[in-house]
């Protein structure tokens, strides 16, 4: 049986939002808990030479990517609205996510931030808006945003991102299944989660 399941994500990614809709049922069926690894998508792109689909230079492919996104929205049947501030600089929110993990309030943080980005259209690159989202979720926003400026939190986000790249990640959502012998297999995209489940089944 696999030893672990890791979910590398950035709130900037709509497909990470879609993948999140499937994670609870996936872990319940497999019996393998998920480890959430916040990463910086921009850092992954810089390291690998990749770029966001919306920035694709081939115009027909770019239009097709937009249509594909619309199809997945219909398929997952989740509240979704293209964020009017896209692309959003998520450096601050991903650091705050690491801080939330350290503070033991990740679940509430995660449950608030994804909908704020991809259903409510909030500009989470703006610290004031992020603070409002966190306060509405009942979190100590000022404490989390303050902790996000700690050098060790910043370094942890960098380390998370570098570790994801070292495992072969070139975007998010990325799932990494590790077995008891230390072997690992990488899966990219919400549309590949059925392969993740097969890997978890051994």
Predicted local distance difference test score (pLDDT) of residue 1: 58
Predicted local distance difference test score (pLDDT) of residue 62: 87
Predicted local distance difference test score (pLDDT) of residue 2: 63
Predicted local distance difference test score (pLDDT) of residue 123: 97
Query: CATH 3.40.50.20: does it fit domain 2-200?
Result: no
> Is 177:5 a contact under the CB 8 Å cutoff?
yes
pTM of the full predicted structure? 0.94
Q: Cite the DSSP H helix spans in 31-150.
A: 41-48, 59-76, 91-103, 106-118, 127-136, 141-147
Domain boundaries, the chain: 2-200
Predicted local distance difference test score (pLDDT) of residue 82: 93
Residue 138 token pair: 């009942």
Predicted local distance difference test score (pLDDT) of residue 182: 82
Edge-to-edge strand ranges of the sheet holding 2-9: 34-38, 2-9, 174-179, 184-188
Predicted local distance difference test score (pLDDT) of residue 52: 83
**DSSP one-letter string for 16-28:** HHHHHHHHHHHHH
Per-residue pLDDT tens listing for the chain (202 residues): 567 999 999 999 999 999 999 999 999 999 999 999 999 999 999 999 998 877 778 889 888 988 999 999 999 889 999 999 999 999 999 999 999 999 999 999 999 999 999 999 999 999 999 999 999 999 999 999 999 999 999 999 999 999 999 999 999 999 999 988 889 999 999 999 999 999 999 8
**184 SS3 class:** strand
């Amino acid at each position: 049986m696999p030893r672990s399941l890791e979910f590398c994500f950035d709130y900037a990614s709509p497909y990470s939002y879609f993948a999140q809709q499937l994670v609870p049922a996936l872990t319940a069926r497999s019996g393998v808990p998920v480890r959430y690894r916040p990463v910086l998508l921009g850092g992954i792109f810089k390291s690998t030479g990749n770029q966001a689909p919306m920035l694709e230079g081939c115009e027909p492919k770019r239009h097709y990517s937009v249509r594909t996104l619309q199809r997945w929205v219909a398929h997952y049947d989740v509240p979704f609205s293209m964020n009017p501030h896209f692309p959003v600089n998520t450096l601050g929110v991903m650091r705050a996510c690491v801080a939330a993990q350290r503070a033991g309030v990740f679940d509430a943080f995660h449950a608030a931030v994804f909908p704020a980005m991809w259903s409510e259209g909030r500009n989470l690159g703006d610290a004031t808006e992020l603070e409002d989202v966190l306060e509405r979720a009942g979190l100590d926003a000022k404490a989390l945003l303050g902790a996000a400026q700690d050098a060790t939190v910043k370094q942890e986000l960098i380390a998370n991102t570098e570790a994801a790249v070292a495992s072969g990640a070139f975007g998010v959502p990325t799932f990494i299944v590790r077995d008891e012998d230390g072997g690992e297999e990488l899966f990219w995209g919400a549309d590949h989660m059925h392969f993740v489940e097969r890997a978890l089944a051994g």
